[in-house]
Amino acid sequence: MSDHDISLEEARERYRIEREKRLRADANDQYHDLSGEFEEFDHDPYSPPIVREPVTEETQVVIVGGGFGGMLTGANLTKLGITDFKIIEKGGDFGGTWYWNRYPGCMCDVESYVYLPMLEETGFMPTMKYAYAPEIFEYCQLLGRHFDLYRGAMFQTEVSEMTWDDATQRWTTVTDRGDVLTSKYVVIAGGVLSKAKLPGIPGIEKFTGPKFHTSRWDYAQTGGGPYDHMEKLEDKVVGVIGTGATAVQVVPAVARSAKELFVFQRTPASVGVRNQGPTDAEWFKSLEPGWQKERIENFTMAVTGTQPEKNLVGDTWTQMLWVDTRNVPKDDEEAAFYEREDFEQMQALRDRVDEIIDDPDTAEKLKPWYGKFCKRPCFHDDYLPAFNRENVHLVDTDGKGVDQITETGVIVGGTEYPVDILVFASGFEVTTDYHHRLGFDPKGRGGVSMSESWAEGPHTLHGVLTHDFPNLMMISTVQGAFGTNFAHYLTETSKHVAELIQTCDAEGIATIEASTEAEEEWFNLLMTMVGGLAVYNASCTPGYLNGEQGEPSMKAARNSPYMGSMLNYARLLEAWRQEGSLAGAEVAKA
Ligand code: NDP
């Protein structure tokens, strides 16, 4: 019997087996962050050190993070006439994710016309339907110039302390360069997929050859560039650990350059059709004003459970996600429909593996046996075909992960695979404590730190304001929205934050923070939206979307994002602003 004939019951059993192989009691603790003995992995290989004197200054707004979230906050403030702000950024330029991720093949798998923010304002035409990382990075610089954001930028700078002073009603932000900034507002726009993690594989520190995380690609070791042949790999054996969305893009590029490539897999990715192609310039020119907002909303609708009348983007994301099989079914019939729908979509992806992969044994190992919302879906035209190449070898660990790393190679199932270069495509922290991901712990009213205030879990209004941290605004997934097109979320939330600052100034408000009652109401609303998630996750393999299947806890629940559609979240924020009473916020007038 081929997989094509597999029944739902058999798939259910296979999901259970694959999940159980992978469950680990240490959940998130299995990973290392890039500190202590792994600090060298955090080195910035891209920009020479910037030399400057420390700055001591008063400014109106300190924005932490120079990725799209921070940049869009700056752009929206600028549009409202507020230009007295600083943007503190760890990287050597704007870009955030797109500054750090320069690995070969790096691209955004969400359509560029809906992903790149403010295209109508900047007049920029992406060259491809799915933009490659260098173009997105250039676009970040263009946005920086367009909105004059470089003026207030402090690059290669990290916040070390952020403290509220009740007497002066000001924040003091101290950086690792000795800068001291005082400000009425702080906006934290970081910590989403910014803190890289390494797998806790025994011996990981022993490997003596070049080794790096994908978000710090070392072209000095590989030669070439994001688009180019990596000539220094021609005589090298490369090992890539991990097979998530990053590896799906890295593997085909490395396969083309390296003498040999070993891909170490714990759980196979689900990989759908990409259909990359160039932008039709005539079509782009013909778009009417307002087109981008319409297209963004149309895409978000299609990936959050409602198929729009006309699906404008029309790609595999929109075909795959328009039925949210995590919903609570209204009856047995609907439950059966959800399960079958999910199964059939995943079966189509498993069948795709058979269609593409020549060797049946390799094909078997590349099949994803889990539901479509267990792991982030991936889309690529060259990933699976890469495994048909003679120089590419899949080393499947049967769900166990790599056993050990030695000075010269990687051990799986008692066999050592010697490699010259080791690449960790092992992802980022997503569900660890917020202050840990930020790398600093803001101290609010009475000197109470966020880690103390949130010891039992986060408490916020809209994911933006939090009690006892006056005039601090957050743009993050912690109780904020989350979605396939993350730039949609950043666009809406940065606008919300900028307008909130403008309102406070216009109304003579000295401080604003969430009331504890409103925070509880917000949390209760979040809980009404988790729907059938717990039931759905119960059949999933572990991963960051389900907190690595760690023990359920109130703290984990309080870390949940808003699970409804981004469109509803945006409408809710807009209605809240328009209503005008700042309901649920505690304000004190100047
Ligand atoms: P992921 O967390 O998705 O993948 C990490 C990989 O490392 C997984 O395959 C994981 O296996 C594997 N791994 C972890 N520990 C071990 C171990 N001990 N032995 C072997 N393998 C191990 O990280 P990515 O960087 O791939 O992606 C992170 C996110 O970044 C994406 O989900 C997406 O949101 C974003 N992204 C977006 C892109 C875009 O185009 N828009 C492109 C790339 C990334 P296992 O699955 O078993 O845990």
List Cβ neighbours of 101 (8 Å cut-off, separation of 6 or more).
133, 214, 215, 217, 246
pLDDT > 70 fraction of the chain, expressed in percent and rounded: 99
Q: List pLDDT tens digits, range 134-152.
A: 999 999 999 999 999 999 9
* Ligand 1 touching residue 428 (CB < 6 A): yes
Q: Which of 132, 266, 267 to mutate to test the pocket of ligand 1 (most atoms within 8 A of CB)?
A: 266
pLDDT at 438 over 70: yes
3-state secondary structure of 59: strand
Residue 269 maps to a domain:
no
Q: How far is the CA of 428 from the centre of ligand 1 (A)?
A: 8
pLDDT at 433 over 90: no
* Ligand 1 touching residue 543 (CB < 6 A): yes
Which residue type occupies 417?
Y
- DSSP letter (8 states) at residue 49: P
Instruction: Give me 565's structure tokens.
Output: 């559609």
Atom number in ligand 1 closest to CA 399 = 47
Query: How large is the average pLDDT for residues 370-379?
Result: 95
Atom number in ligand 1 closest to CA 248 = 26
How distant is the alpha carbon of residue 129 from its chain centre?
20
How distant is the alpha carbon of residue 450 from its chain centre?
22
Beta bridge partners of 534: none
CA distance 114 to 128: 12
CA angle 375, 538, 345 (to 5 degrees): 45
pLDDT at 520 over 80: yes
List Cβ neighbours of 293 (8 Å cut-off, separation of 6 or more).
none
CA distance 370 to 540: 6
Kind and range of the H or E run holding 438: helix 434-438
Residue 12, phi then psi, degrees to nearest 5: -55, -45
CA distance 311 to 320: 12
Q: How many domains does the chain have?
A: 1
Q: Where are the beta strands (DSSP E) in 176-236?
A: 180-188, 197-199, 211-213
Q: Which of 111, 243, 276, 411 to mutate to test the pocket of ligand 1 (most atoms within 8 A of CB)?
A: 243
* Ligand 1 touching residue 266 (CB < 6 A): yes
Q: Which of 112, 159, 206, 108 is nearest to 407 (CA)?
A: 206
Q: List pLDDT tens digits, range 260-292.
A: 999 999 999 999 999 999 999 999 999 999 999
How distant is the alpha carbon of residue 271 from its chain centre?
18
pLDDT at 511 over 60: yes
Confidence of residue 32 (pLDDT cuts 50, 70, 90): very high
List Cβ neighbours of 304 (8 Å cut-off, separation of 6 or more).
321, 324, 483, 484, 564, 565, 566, 567
Q: Which residues of 523-532 are buried (b: 16+ CB within 10 A; e: fewer)?
A: beebeeebbb
Residue 26 maps to a domain:
no
Residue 402 maps to a domain:
no
List Cβ neighbours of 166 (8 Å cut-off, separation of 6 or more).
445, 446
Q: How many CA atoms lie within 13 A of 521 on its CB side?
A: 10
Nearest CA to ligand 1 atom 3: 244
pLDDT in the model for residue 1: 41
Q: Which of 421, 490, 344, 292 is nearest to 6 (CA)?
A: 344
pLDDT in the model for residue 459: 98
Helices of type H across 44-200 = 68-79, 97-100, 112-115, 119-122, 133-146
Domain, as residue range, for 116: 56-195+430-589
Burial of 206 (0-12, 13-18, 19+ CB in 10 A): exposed
Neighbours of 413 (CB within 10 A): 11
pLDDT in the model for residue 3: 58
Query: How large is the average pLDDT for residues 517-524?
Result: 98
Instruction: Give the residue carrying structure tokens 């702080």.
Output: 186
CA max distance for the chain: 75
Residue 273 maps to a domain:
no
Cα radius of gyration (the chain): 24
CA distance 122 to 79: 13
Q: Which of 402, 431, 428 is nearest to 197 (CA)?
A: 428
Confidence of residue 305 (pLDDT cuts 50, 70, 90): confident
Atom number in ligand 1 closest to CA 247 = 26
Q: Which residues of 219-239 are buried (b: 16+ CB within 10 A; e: fewer)?
A: bebbebebeeebebbeebbbb
On whether the CB atoms of residues 381 and 203 are closer than 8 A, the answer is no
Residues in the chain: 590
- Proportion of the chain in helix, strand, coil states, percent, rounded to 5: 40, 20, 45
* Ligand 1 touching residue 519 (CB < 6 A): no
pLDDT in the model for residue 589: 93
- Provide the CATH number for the domain around residue 482: 3.50.50.60
Q: List pLDDT tens digits, range 51-91.
A: 999 999 999 999 999 999 999 999 999 999 999 999 999 99
Residue 497 maps to a domain:
yes
pLDDT in the model for residue 285: 97
Q: How far is the CA of 552 from the centre of ligand 1 (A)?
A: 22
Atom number in ligand 1 closest to CA 22 = 47
* Ligand 1 touching residue 368 (CB < 6 A): no
Query: What do you get for the CA distance between the two ends of the chain, in Å?
Result: 75
Residue 514 maps to a domain:
yes
pLDDT at 324 over 90: no
Residue 517 maps to a domain:
yes
Residue 107 maps to a domain:
yes
Query: How large is the average pLDDT for residues 84-99?
Result: 98
pLDDT at 410 over 70: yes
How, if at all, do strands 153-154 and 421-424 pair?
unpaired
Q: List pLDDT tens digits, range 469-489.
A: 999 999 999 999 988 999 999
Confidence of residue 35 (pLDDT cuts 50, 70, 90): confident
CA distance 246 to 261: 16
Query: How large is the average pLDDT for residues 530-552?
Result: 89
Beta bridge partners of 393: 262
On whether the CB atoms of residues 225 and 253 are closer than 8 A, the answer is no
